[in-house]
Every structure is written in C-alpha cells, then in structure tokens.
C-alpha cells in the first residue's frame, strides 16, 4: 500500500516543529493524505468488467449481444448532445468481450441506459463501491456510489436519465478510492467472494513467544451469489484480452510477459469538455489533466496478485498506469517464486 508524495515520519518521533508541520499542511501536493484509502477519483473504465457481470446476470445483455459503435451514443428519442467514445471513429461491431478488450464506451452507455441507476448502483455496491472496504486502519473514505436518494439529499434535484449514462463508464457522480477498486478486482477474481483488505496478521504481548500470537480478525462481508460461472469467465477473459489481445488497450505494457494476466485500464476526466471541444493535454494546467488508472491480476490461471494503480494527472491509463502495474507484477511474482523455492 503506497501513497506518494509522502513525508519523512522520523520528523514526528520527537515532535515536529510548528514550521515543519505547517509546511506539510500547506503543501499543495497533500503529502499527509493517504491516497490509497482517502484519495477519491472517478474509477473510469476500470469498472467495466464489474458492470459486465451485473448486466449479464440481469439479462440487460447476453453473451451474444452485439452493437455497432459509430464513435458516439445518444439517448434514444432525444436531441441532447451525444456521448462520445474515446475512439472518435468508433469500434464497429462490438460484443461484450470486445467492449472490455477495447474499452468501448458506447457499449457501456447503452448498458447504463438499459440497466438504470437503481440496478447499476445495487450491483456496484455488492462489489464494495460506496462503502468502507473494511481495511483494518482508521483512515478510509466511502467515496460515492451515486443513487437517486443520494442526489436528492445532496443536490436537492431528482435523478435524470442523463445522469446515469456517464456512470456506465465510471464517471459522472461516481467516485472511488484505489483500495475500493483493488477490492472490487479481488471480488471479480474470486468469483463473488468478498475479501476485505487486511494488513495486521497477528499480535503478541510484549515478551511472549510467537507461539502465543493472537490472529487478528478479518472483516467479513456477504458474497455475491447466484451469478452464472460463465459470466465471471467472460469478465475475466475480457480482462485477459486487455493485456494480451490483439487490440487490448494495455497490450503494449504486457508484451513478452512470461505468463498471462488480466487487467483494465481507465482514464478519468477531471473536468467536462464542451460538445465541440477537443482534449489537449499540452494546453492544460497539470491539475486539470486526466488521471491514469489501471487494475489487474496475475497470473491469469490461479491468480496470486492484484494490483491497482492511480496516477494523478498522469494522462492515459493504458499508456501510463499499465506499465507501472506491469513492473509491480514482475516484482511481486518474482519474489513469490523465490520464497516458494526457499
């Protein structure tokens, strides 16, 4: 669990000076905030495999559903501005596997429209969004899984159909912490078993031997039950294609990998563009640039590691987040192999 930029904790051992503490508090990079559990970001396209499971189980789509993507999607019988795909000219004929592999936004706009915010939020809450992960430290945010009730309480306005569409690609009113995304990924990998992140293994009294250690309790949550196995398979296979498919969005970061893995990139917009406005990172202040996200697991068969990366204002998730995750996979699995050999 890493949060950067950080600070030197040694400064607090004997009492930090007022000037030193004030400098940390006023630092615009907020080094005192543990971004892993308190950082709040739109989860962006990292959530598409989770939404796929809910949509399949609800019958909103089937394994054979295909749609044409011209590069934009519009609410049926509406004259509102179109919701654009990240690929301006579109992806052509798309099924659910291709929608995950190539991160096709328009496919998920339609899912969100057909599913509705009530079912969408219900399913994502089962994956742990909008709630504490249960990690055994007392600094964590619930972030926000939007609902009709939340919007009325917060903004004093009803939920509109247009509010649901961006939620389908992890944007809009939806926010999450990196730890929530990691937990949701583990729920998917474990096919509905909900495991809370956990740091403390055990405690022992001062002077006692390790034979007298007391194992700490792990927060338990109800599993997601009733989902057909093939729906878990489809979401996981889609994530494998993200990393190793011919058109996988993260394929460049995972070339020459000695084992198969699964992943999903995400690029979270910090602000909304006007209908005719083009996104140009070079012309933006750093704090307005997109966040780069990636979540994944490895090896694909018998997964041992889940990695979630959020890089603030770093740009594209596939081009910037995925290479970091690749390095972490290589390091973590190499260390596991060494420990197993010993």
45 is known as an active-site residue: yes
Report the Cα–Cα distance between both ends of the chain, in Å, rounded: 25
| C-alpha pair distances (Å), 159 with each of 109, 164, 253 | 16, 8, 39
Distance CA 21, CA 255 (A): 45
Element (H, E) at 305: strand 305-311
Distance CA 23, CA 338 (A): 42
SS3 50: helix
Distance CA 44, CA 46 (A): 6
Count of H-run helices and E-run strands, the chain: 10, 9
Q: What is the pLDDT along the chain (342 residues), one digit of tens a residue?
A: 999 999 989 989 889 999 999 999 999 989 999 999 999 999 999 999 999 999 999 999 999 999 999 999 999 988 888 999 999 999 999 999 999 999 999 999 999 999 999 999 999 999 999 999 999 998 999 999 999 999 999 999 999 999 999 999 999 999 999 999 999 999 999 999 999 999 999 999 998 988 889 988 888 889 999 999 999 999 999 999 999 999 999 999 999 999 999 999 999 887 554 444 454 455 455 566 789 999 999 999 999 999 999 999 887 888 899 999 999 999 999 876 666 666
At residue 255, the pLDDT reads 94
Q: In terms of DSSP bridges, do strands 67-69 and 72-73 run parallel, antiparallel, or are they unpaired?
A: unpaired
SS3 166: helix
The answer to whether 322 touches 294, Cβ cutoff 8 Å, is yes
Name which of 259, 81, 239, 264 is nearest 170 in CA terms. 264
The answer to whether 296 touches 323, Cβ cutoff 8 Å, is no
The answer to whether 245 touches 101, Cβ cutoff 8 Å, is yes
Which DSSP letter does residue 133 get?
A: -
Locate all alpha helices (DSSP H) within 190-274, ordered by sequence. Answer: 229-244
Catalytic residue among 17, 45, 186, 220, which? 45
Paired with 83 in beta bridges are 73
Locate all alpha helices (DSSP H) within the chain, ordered by sequence. Answer: 18-26, 35-38, 48-58, 96-101, 105-126, 148-155, 161-167, 178-189, 229-244, 322-341
Distance CA 129, CA 114 (A): 21
């Amino acid at each position: 669990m890493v949060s950067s930029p950080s600070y030197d904790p040694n400064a607090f051992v004997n009492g930090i000076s007022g000037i030193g503490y004030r400098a940390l508090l006023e630092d615009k990079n907020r080094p005192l905030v543990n971004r892993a559990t308190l950082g709040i970001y739109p989860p962006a396209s990292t959530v598409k495999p989770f939404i796929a499971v809910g949509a399949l189980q609800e019958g909103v789509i089937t394994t054979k559903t295909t749609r044409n993507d011209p590069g934009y999607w519009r609410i049926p019988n509406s004259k509102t501005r179109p919701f654009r795909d990240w690929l301006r000219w579109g992806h052509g004929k798309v099924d659910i596997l291709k929608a995950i592999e190539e991160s096709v936004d328009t496919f998920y706009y339609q899912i969100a429209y057909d599913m509705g915010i009530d079912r969408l939020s219900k399913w994502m809450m089962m994956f742990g969004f909008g709630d504490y992960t249960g990690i055994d430290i007392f600094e964590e945010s619930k972030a926000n899984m939007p609902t009709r009730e939340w919007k009325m309480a917060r903004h004093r306005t009803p939920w509109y159909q247009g509010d649901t569409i961006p939620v389908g690609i992890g944007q809009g009113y939806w926010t999450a912490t990196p730890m929530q995304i990691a937990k949701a990924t583990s729920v998917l990998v474990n096919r509905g078993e909900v495991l809370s992140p956990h740091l403390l293994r055990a405690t022992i009294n001062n002077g006692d031997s390790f034979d007298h250690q007391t194992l700490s309790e792990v927060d338990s949550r109800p599993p997601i039950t009733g989902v057909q196995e093939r729906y878990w398979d489809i979401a996981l296979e889609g994530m494998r294609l993200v990393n190793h498919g011919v058109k996988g969005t993260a394929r460049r970061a995972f070339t020459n990998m000695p084992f198969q893995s699964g992943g999903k990139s995400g690029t979270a917009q910090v602000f909304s563009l006007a209908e005719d406005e083009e996104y140009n990172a070079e012309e933006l202040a750093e704090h307005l640039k997109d966040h780069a996200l990636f979540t994944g697991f490895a090896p694909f068969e018998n997964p041992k590691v889940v990695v979630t990366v959020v890089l603030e204002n770093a740009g594209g998730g596939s081009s910037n987040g995925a290479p970091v995750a690749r390095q972490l996979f290589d390091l973590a699995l190499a260390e596991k192999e060494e420990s197993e050999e010993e």
